[in-house]
Chains A and B, each alone.
Chain A
Amino acid sequence: MKHTISVLVENKFGVLARISGLFSARGFNISSLAVGETEDPTVSRMTIVVEGDDKTLEQIKKQSNKLIDVIKVVDYKEGDFLDRELILVKVSVTAKNKKDVIAAAEKIGAKIEKSGEKSVCIEATGDRSKISKLLDVLRPFGILEVVRTGRIAIDTTDKGLKADGKPEVNE
């Protein structure tokens, strides 16, 4: 089962290596990892999609929290959050089907960023089902290349996720 977690970390050299090293050492499967600065330049935020059962997820959260550079770990329950990803797809086209490719992409809400005689580059932003639908629709035409950013997520409450130290993990 896939889970999405957000990890607030110190914006310091080596932190990405610490997290990925921890995950690989403990055999935690990373499906995707996106990282960037937050509204606070001393804090970076990683959104990690991990594979595993509930027990594994609990260990992932606890072991990540142990890292000194990790400030907070949050995992998102279904329905509680927005997830988005940016995808760029290069699709091969012919003079005959180019119109269909463009129409299919635009129907899903994707944009045509570059249009050539033999290929088009399509950009889309959306949740996992939109991205997956786009790929399904484009696949029959011949996908040449796919670049994805990995998922980012934000919860839908009225509060901002603050880097205010780890809550004590007391079950």
Chain B
Amino acid sequence: MKMTGAQILIECLKKENVEVMFGYPGGQVLPIFDKLYDAPIKFILVRHEQGAAHAADGYARATGKVGVCLATSGPGATNLVTGIATAYMDSVPMVAITGQVKSFLIGNDAFQEADITGITRPVTKHNYLVEDVKDLARIIKEAFHIASTGRPGPVLIDIPSDIQLQETEFEYPKSVSIRGYNPTYTGHPGQIKRAAKAISDSKKPILYVGGGAITSDASKEVTALAVDNGIPVTMTLLGLGAFPSSHELSLGMLGMHGTAYANHAIMDSDLIVAIGARFDDRVTGKIDAFAPHAKVIHIDIDPASVSKNVDVDIPIVGDAKKILKELNAHVKKPDTKEWLKTVAGWKKMYPLNYKDDGLIKPQYVLEQICEATKGDAIICTEVGQHQMWTAQFYNFTKPRTMLSSGGLGTMGYGFPAAIGAQLGKPNAHVFDIAGDGSIQMNIQELATAVANKLPVKIAILNNCYLGMVRQWQELFYKHRYSHVCLNGTEPDFVKLAEAYGAVGMRITKKEDVRAAIDKALAIDNTVIMDFVIEREENVYPMVPAGEAINKMIGGGLA
């Protein structure tokens, strides 16, 4: 059957089971929007294309499906770039579709023309410029395949508007065959046996679990490996939720703002089992001082991540879930009794702590949110101190409940991501934990949230500062608070919420915190809770840049 490019796009999205997409119209996507007008796909109009990209990202992280966003050419496309880069750094499956000027105008500096395939080449897993409408269906199928398999990532498809109007016979390819793309899923059996023996022989093993374990849906297998064998577990920011934080074997997050006991444990271990984690600099600190006594087993789907930063003794390339199933069958329980005693001792000596001295402390707010939601909510964060306090004080027990920009660290990510997550999980309570700086970066999406009746709860931990930068300036730049003070320039967030048709609350007293959270949870609308918190609270512990991760400062540490 003959169809236009725009119709083919819609048909392909239907074939890929796309139920929701996010975007913003414009001149070079008019043919597509015309077909979207009566298409059976829920289209969410955002108020800034960056919001569309982050929402598609949040939707993907919360559901495991591919997030889809659509923007016009030129500025519409470039507005997606931060969101695409965010997804790229955190390996999120996303397909971004952009309109482009007519094929014969490309390269002519046409109106609203941008070389988006050139611009996004370094921040996409792959990208396409469609040159012939006959290629469109195959390209879309390939894009979804590439985005969602192997190590997931964003794929961009740039479609010139004349191609959106051209007709061709539509046939959706039955299969995808890309000779240059063949991810490995099954781990090498010899390596798996070697790893099993190394674990069985170890005295101080530790599991280091990252986002890849969640992407692979490997929580059950990680838990079995840990619990059946008495091995403590530490998680990266993106790995939180892969193993329940409430379990006694959990050490919480490790790294620059991780728990002291997680950092001591990994530095003292004799065997690190890395699962879907990439030894990022926030985790390793000074690389040549990292885990000096440990052998390293690295289970990862991306061979390029193996031995990139840290030398790996037993690499196993493949899908974490598959590999762990095999591994668990071969591991014999190691003797970790002494090790667990040591680790428990560290947990007792160096708990996360804060001075609860009457003002509203951000850590207290997070604890209350955790209690009020029974640890069952989907928590999105922006970037900064509040993000770290969330990782420390909200006990994540389930995968796909911690949505945060880890790799790129994008302020403004959390709120649109929460919108995407709420759409993907309509029955969940979805929070955006924000700072007063971050929330202003995509505040316009209040309109999107209210218009689509998404009862996202925004908790602003308002200290009137760009907190994380202020902390570094306090500790390392002699208190020279250069351009981080927002005091006196902030909007009244309550009035701002109401201006958009949402509900606003300001909380200034500690005794009102819990009541506000409970009230917000019961409101069937978008809610902003503006918590006025202690201004100069610092995130501790902290590993200063360039230090080994057991050289932490702050938080009552030895």
Contact = CB atoms under 8 A, between A and B. Distances in A.
A150 to B, nearest CB: 23
Contact of A21 (B121, B126, B181): B121
B125 A18 contact: no
A63 to B, nearest CB: 5
Contact of A71 (B122, B180, B302): B180
Contacts of A17: 118, 121
Interface in A126-171: 163-166, 168-171
Nearest to B179: A165
Nearest to B183: A168
B184 A65 contact: no
Interface string B173-210: 00000111110100010010000000000000000000
B179 A170 contact: no
A10 B126 CA distance: 13
Contacts of A69: 126, 180
Interface in A22-40: 22, 25
B117 interface: yes
Query: Which of B122, B180, B182: most chain A Cβ within 10 A?
Result: B180
Given A169-B184, A170-B188, A171-B315, A65 B117 contact: no
Contacts of A163: 179
Contact of B180 (A10, A21, A22, A25): A10
A58 B180 contact: no
Contacts of B180: 9-10, 67-71, 165-166
B117 A14 contact: yes
Contacts of A58: 307
B326 to A, nearest CB: 14
A69 B146 CA distance: 12
Contacts of A169: 184, 303, 317
A59 B191 CA distance: 21
Interface in B275-324: 302-304, 306-308, 315, 317
Interface in B54-69: none
Nearest to B306: A171
Given A68-B146, A168-B317, A59 B308 contact: yes
Nearest to B188: A170
B182 A168 contact: yes
A71 B304 contact: no
Nearest to B142: A68
A55 B310 CA distance: 11
B317 A68 contact: no
A46 to B, nearest CB: 13
A3 B342 CA distance: 48
Contacts of A55: 307
A62 B182 contact: no
Nearest to A42: B179
Interface string A60-91: 00110111111100000000000000000000
B512 to A, nearest CB: 49
A66 B121 CA distance: 13
B303 A62 contact: yes
A27 B125 CA distance: 19
B89 to A, nearest CB: 13
A112 B126 CA distance: 47
B103 to A, nearest CB: 13
B178 A68 contact: yes
A25 to B, nearest CB: 5
Nearest to B307: A58
B55 to A, nearest CB: 26
Contacts of B179: 71, 163-165
A10 B146 CA distance: 16
B20 to A, nearest CB: 26
A59 B303 CA distance: 9
A79 B188 CA distance: 31
A21 B182 CA distance: 22
A9 B146 CA distance: 17
Given A68-B125, A166-B180, A166-B182, A59 B317 contact: no
A70 B179 CA distance: 9
Contacts of B117: 14
Given A25-B122, A68-B178, A71-B179, A170 B184 contact: yes
A168 B307 contact: no
A63 B305 CA distance: 9
Nearest to A62: B304
Contacts of B182: 165-166, 168
Nearest to B155: A68
Nearest to B150: A66
Nearest to B123: A25
Contacts of A62: 303-304, 308
B181 A68 contact: yes
Interface string B468-495: 0000000000000000000000000000
A10 to B, nearest CB: 6
Nearest to A55: B307
A166 B129 CA distance: 24
Contacts of A168: 182, 184, 317
Nearest to B314: A171
A164 B184 CA distance: 16
A35 B31 CA distance: 39
Given A166-B182, A171-B315, A63 B304 contact: yes
B302 A66 contact: yes
Interface string A87-109: 00000000000000000000000
A171 B195 CA distance: 13
Contacts of B125: 68
Top 6 closest A-B pairs, CB basis? A62-B304, A169-B303, A68-B126, A71-B180, A165-B179, A168-B184
Interface of A: 9-10, 13-14, 17-18, 21-22, 25, 55, 58-59, 62-63, 65-71, 163-166, 168-171
Given A14-B129, A63-B304, A171-B191, 6 more contacts: A59-B304, A65-B304, A163-B179, A168-B317, A169-B317, A171-B303
26 contacts: A10-B180, A13-B131, A14-B117, A14-B121, A17-B118, A17-B121, A22-B122, A25-B122, A58-B307, A62-B304, A63-B304, A65-B304, A66-B302, A67-B126, A67-B180, A68-B126, A68-B180, A69-B126, A165-B180, A165-B182, A168-B182, A170-B191, A170-B303, A170-B317, A171-B315, A171-B317
